[in-house]
């Protein structure tokens, strides 16, 4: 599934929080590990960039020395805009997973990894695992990925993430939880709003239940579903926070019929507000998108 795990680091402890998660994934898939550090060109005069790159590469090698044997680890420190460097390195090899923290300041570079992560998610074709600063399991340690929350909006585009997640769940023996959030606030609502709410709720539940039953018949992982009423991004974030040791996996595209909320914008909102890990997988455009 993943042949290379790319880990952007900026010299801060916060950026390094992703390491246990990334290395666990690398060990599971026997994937190569690429430690990447970018040196922004406006941080120093050209004459000093080479020296800073050397210092950053040594920093990465020091990190690599702490990684247990058995994994192939490569270290890359290059000048350039952080997001551009990360995306370029991810494109060099297929089946690359980018794993990065969503907050963290560097020492000499002083670039905000949170804003870099957002740009990477927006532009990279590779899947991106985002770890919010401070994310932890119920015991105070790292989050143990035991459940994957998969928001679906009723669109074919949103469902394209399912094969990716099914493979991930099989490798880590994780439960799949399909989530459907629906909203029934329409302009000009009348006293018949209760009837409209019931119709929308039944349609949403019928859809998510059907998808869960389909997956139960085709994958080995445990599959369940949840129906949520309210603003999708808020409901998804709250549900993830209440679901211990979970990972939320979302598509970057997808549109509903009745609700007409764009999953891409919902994904963006979840990334900015979630306190739990989020895996973002880009789905291909179609003629109807």
Of the pLDDT bands very low, low, confident and very high (cuts 50, 70, 90), residue 253 is low
Main-chain dihedrals φ then ψ at residue 49, nearest 5 degrees = -60, -45
Question: Does residue 120 sit within a domain?
Answer: yes
Checking DSSP bridges between strand 96-101 and strand 4-8, what pairing results, if any? parallel
**And the tokens for 189?**
């609502």
What predicted TM-score, i.e. pTM, was given to this entire model?
A: 0.87
pLDDT for the residue numbered 218: 86
Of the pLDDT bands very low, low, confident and very high (cuts 50, 70, 90), residue 238 is very high
Question: Does residue 222 sit within a domain?
Answer: yes
**Which of 131, 162, 177 is the last residue in one of the domains?**
131
C-alpha dihedral (248, 251, 252, 258), degrees to nearest 10: -110
Instruction: State whether 229 and 123 are in the same domain.
Output: no
**Based on the structure, what is the number of domains in the chain?**
2
CA torsion sign, 270 to 102 to 46 to 33? negative
Instruction: State whether 158 and 275 are in the same domain.
Output: yes
Question: Does residue 229 sit within a domain?
Answer: yes
Owning domain of residue 13: 4-131
Q: What mean pLDDT value characterizes the chain? A: 84
Least confident span in 44-53, 119-128, 208-217, 230-239: 44-53
Residue 235, Ramachandran bin (φ over 0: left; ψ between -120 and 50: alpha; else beta): alpha
pLDDT for the residue numbered 264: 61
> Residue 289 pLDDT more than 70?
no
Query: For a pLDDT cut of 70, what percent of the chain falls above it?
Result: 85
Degrees to nearest 5, angle at CA 271 with 229 and 233: 10
**Which of 98, 131, 164 is the last residue in one of the domains?**
131
pLDDT for the residue numbered 112: 43
Degrees to nearest 5, angle at CA 101 with 37 and 43: 40
Range among 3-7, 48-52, 201-205 rated most confident = 3-7
Name the DSSP letter for residue 171. Answer: H
Tell me: the pLDDT tens digits for 170-220? 999 999 999 999 887 666 556 577 777 888 899 999 999 999 999 998 888
Beta-carbon neighbour count of residue 71 at 10 Å?
A: 15
Instruction: State whether 8 and 116 are in the same domain.
Output: yes
Tell me: the pLDDT tens digits for 95-118? 999 999 886 444 434 344 467 888
Question: Does residue 142 sit within a domain?
Answer: no
């Amino acid at each position: 599934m993943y042949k290379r795990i790319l880990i952007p680091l900026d010299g801060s402890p916060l950026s390094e929080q992703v390491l246990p998660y990334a290395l666990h994934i690398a060990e599971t898939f026997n994937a190569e590990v690429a430690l990447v550090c970018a040196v922004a060109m406006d941080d120093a005069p050209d004459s000093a960039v080479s020296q800073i790159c050397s210092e950053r590469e040594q920093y990465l090698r020091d990190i690599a020395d702490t990684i247990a044997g058995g994994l192939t680890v490569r270290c890359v420190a290059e000048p350039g805009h952080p997001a551009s460097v990360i995306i370029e390195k991810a494109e060099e090899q297929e089946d690359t997973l980018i794993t990065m923290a969503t907050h963290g300041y560097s020492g000499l570079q002083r670039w905000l990894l949170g804003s870099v992560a957002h740009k990477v998610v927006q532009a990279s074709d590779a899947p991106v695992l985002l770890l919010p600063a401070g994310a932890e399991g119920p015991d105070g340690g790292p989050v143990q990925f035991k459940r994957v929350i998969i928001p679906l909006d009723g669109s074919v585009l949103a469902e394209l993430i399912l094969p990716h997640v099914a493979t991930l769940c099989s490798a880590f023996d994780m439960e799949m939880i399909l989530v459907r959030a629906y909203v029934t606030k329409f302009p000009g609502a009348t006293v018949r709003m209760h009837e409209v709410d019931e119709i929308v709720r039944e349609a949403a539940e019928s859809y998510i239940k059907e998808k869960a039953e389909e997956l139960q018949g085709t994958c080995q992982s445990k599959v369940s579903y949840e129906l949520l009423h309210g603003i999708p991004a808020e409901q998804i974030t709250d549900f993830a926070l209440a679901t211990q040791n979970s990972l939320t996996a979302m598509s970057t595209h997808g549109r509903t019929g009745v609700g007409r909320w764009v999953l891409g914008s919902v994904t963006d909102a979840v990334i900015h507000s979630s306190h739990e890990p989020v895996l973002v997988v880009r789905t291909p455009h179609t003629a109807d998108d």
